[in-house]
A and B are shown apart, each in its own frame.
Chain A
């Protein structure tokens, strides 16, 4: 039986524009890594920041969604326990319950219900501060139209 022709993967959409090889703004460069280290030193102790590189703390009641065991960006899941503890880790309070309560005290609470796009896993470990300045954190795949 013939194997058939090797099929092409179909039309390829234009790849992400290559981030400028700037010594500070490009992830992976020494400058970027230095800023990321500072960012982690600041946000780690305060927010338990996991350095996803695309910070949404402002719309999640200053509560890092990456500390949710399911890493939900649009939580809370349906498994929150009756007493508010997490379905996965009963030793902690549901991260999203805390986010919900805190967001209500913020003047920009309306953003809590925003549909946040899927995580770009390539940005893990990079500085969300730089990615915010360059707009890299807001770049979503072309098929994502919220």
Chain B
């Protein structure tokens, strides 16, 4: 089933983060082959963590050519409204249907902190603009014929302050037109549970597919990195400690992800998962089988 149809159908969804690539097309094909077996769609990042890489449009188009369903992330940090619209429409020309709208980390989070930050639009505005494109018009009002077929989504971080406002922010994104929300990895199960309960209460979970992120890391180092270096992610010291002091830290890291995934799937309104795999090997198929998620992909 096409990813946009799957999201609209209400069935379970598993998405994955596509690893960053630069110029190695063979690596891109290898990653695509690995993910093809279990991901309904794969997120193509847009200069993730404010580091330059092969562009989101180029990678999304390549994956489309390889028969995968790309979710093209579009961030507000590097481009103004003209460039953002051009990217979405240009990718749609090649059959890229799903876009995920982000505000984006600041340039200071990356390796070129000297860069000018743009943020001409913000995340919710970009969602609205992408929906306008799907309705057949640019922000200026100029018609696009035929209108691109787009499924517009976004991200939200249930684990960042102000916690009690995050459901309202998700609601704003859904009002703007987001039909799926990939949730930032959250190492505080209570925050994710409160967020999902609020989203279900507000009637949001029937209007958009909520997909909490699960990160598969190799050990405590990965957790510490996220805690220290990734904006908006906090990993409790006890969690890092528990993995670090375990007899088999790699296994403990896997079990942490499995427990997080099981907890996320038990929450009301969660439609599936977004998986970020830093372990490689058979980690993801094993996770899905341990969670008893069967994959019937028809890509």
Chain-A contact segment, one of B59-67, B117-125, B246-254: B117-125
Whether B232 and A79, one on each chain, are in contact in the complex, defined by CB atoms closer than 8 angstroms, is: yes
Question: Nearest Cβ distance between residue B176 and chain A, in whole angstroms?
Answer: 6
A71, A77, A97 pick with most chain B CB within 10 angstroms: A77
B contact residues around A113 at 8 Å (CB): 168-169, 171-172
Tally of contact residues, A, Cβ under 8 A = 39
Chain B residues lying within 8 Å of A141, measured Cβ to Cβ, are 139-141
Type the 1/0 row for A105-146, where 1 means its CB is closer than 8 Å to any CB of B.
Answer: 000000011011111010000000000000000000111111
Cβ-based interface call for B277 (8 A)? no
Specify which of B129, B143, B157 is in contact with A78 (CB 8 Å cutoff).
Answer: B157
Contact mask for chain B residues 157-169; partner A; CB cutoff 8 A; 1 contact, 0 none: 1001110010011
Q: Which residue of A lies closest to B108 (CB)?
A: A88
Q: A48 CA to B215 CA in the complex, in Å?
A: 40
Number of CB contacts from chain A to chain B under 8 A? 120
| B125 touches which of A10, A74, A81, A121 (Cβ 8 Å) | A74
Q: How far, in whole Å, are A97 and B163 apart by their CA atoms in the complex?
A: 10
Asked if B17 CB lies within 8 Å of chain A CBs, one says: no
Known: A69-B117, A87-B105, A97-B161. A74 touches B140 (CB 8 A): no
Chain B nearest CB: distance from A82 CB in Å? 5
Q: Which residue of A lies closest to B137 (CB)?
A: A143
Does B56 reach chain A (CB closer than 8 Å)?
Answer: no
> Is A28 an interface position by the 8 A CB rule?
no
SS of A interface (majority):
loop
**B117–A70 touching, CB < 8 Å:** yes
Q: Smallest Cβ distance from A86 to chain B, in angstroms?
A: 9
Q: Is the CB of B122 within 8 A of A75?
A: yes
Q: Cβ of B176: which chain A residues have Cβ within 8 Å of it?
A: 115, 146
A78 and B140 in contact, given A70-B117, A143-B132, A146-B128 (Cβ under 8 angstroms): no
B-chain residues with CB within 8 Å of residue A119 when the two chains form the complex: 120
Q: Name B143's contact: one of A11, A101, A118 (CB within 8 Å).
A: A11
Q: How far is the CA of A49 from the CA of B129 in the complex (A)?
A: 27
A87–B140 CB distance below 8 A: no
Q: Does B109 contact A (CB under 8 A)?
A: yes
In the complex, what residue of chain A is closest to B156 when comparing beta carbons?
Answer: A78
Given A70-B119, A88-B108, are A115 and B128 also a contact pair (CB < 8 Å)? yes
The 5 A-B residue pairs with the shortest CB-CB distance, nearest first, are A142-B141, A79-B231, A78-B157, A74-B124, A143-B139
Q: List 6 A-B contacts (CB under 8 A).
A: A13-B141, A80-B162, A87-B105, A115-B175, A121-B120, A143-B129
